[in-house]
Amino acid sequence: MDKKVSVIGAGMVGGTCAQRLAEKELCDVVLVDIIDGLPEGKALDLAEAAPIEGHDAHLTGSSKGYEATAGSDIIIITSGVPRKPGMSRDDLLGINSKIMKDVVSKTAPLSPNAIIIVVANPLDAMCHVAFETSGFPKNRVMGMAGALDSARFRCFIAEELNVSVECINAFVLGGHGDTMVPLPRYSTVAGIPITELISKEKIDAMCDRTANGGAEIVKLLKTGSAFYATASGAVVMAESILKDKKMIIPCATYLEGEYGINNLFVGVPVKLGLNGVEEIIEIKLTAEEEAGLKKSAAAVQDLVDAMAKL
């Protein structure tokens, strides 16, 4: 294939990313991990499934370094320590910032024209590490958060109304954490705002569940964190970029005045194409929504400030 995506981290998120990228025939896939044999084994397993699934994507695994990633169109970084019960995304700040810096410093020079999609938590802060370490322009570094958070919100809306998820559009702004800001006014079912279909009490409950969606799964799994929907969020972003689809997807992107926020990665709707973030979409917010977004951005800033002191 003429496109190549490297997935750094061959755990549950990374392995599922590789699977979905290959089965959608979006690109050839390189899977990298520091655990000896893990990426090679998963790549071989996925390759052996290809005749059954009916795709011709080429899969490569490497636990011996990053050379195989050279010339990647996209680098998806999932590597890092996952959350455990009782941990917040913020608890991962110190160790995952070191991992992110190491990964980016070794992959970016091999793929100087790549687009980086950050998945590791705490996501918004990790975007800053990837941005500063890579030296890439801001349109080529982004975080997968809004795609996942919006999907969770859409899932809960579909369950509440007993309708197809395909009928539902939803937006979630802000940082990837419990300060995120779901936007019911901009969330619709076949074009109908959910505010006309669902009571405020139930909407508030769904917004709260969305903001704590990752913690809910961590609590249930007990020994890991979410990976199916997380991988899907990263792959839909990659698909829009690789196919130049110009999809509008909420992503963590670097803001320079948009929404009144400066020099910070925060989740907002963007247009994704071959050049990465090709446009930041600014939508009108109520005073309450704007206050929520500013609060969320302040929480991200606190993480960035804390990281600078490590």
DSSP bridge pairs for 112: none
Is 128 annotated as catalytic? no
Tokens found for residue 158: 């579909």
Q: Is the separation of the CB atoms in 123 and 143 below 8 Å?
A: yes
229, two tokens = 């929907």
> Which burial class, exposed, middle or buried, applies to 18 when counting CB atoms under 10 A from its CB (0-12, 13-18, 19+)?
buried
For residue 110 the two structure tokens come to 């091999």
Q: Estimate the crossing angle of helix 287-308 against helix 93-107, to 10 degrees.
A: 80
The count of residues in the chain is 310
The token pair that represents 282 in the structure block: 């600014």
Active-site option among 55, 58, 128, 176 = 176
Cα–Cα distance for residue pair 285/105, rounded to 1 Å: 38
Catalytic sites, residue numbers: 176
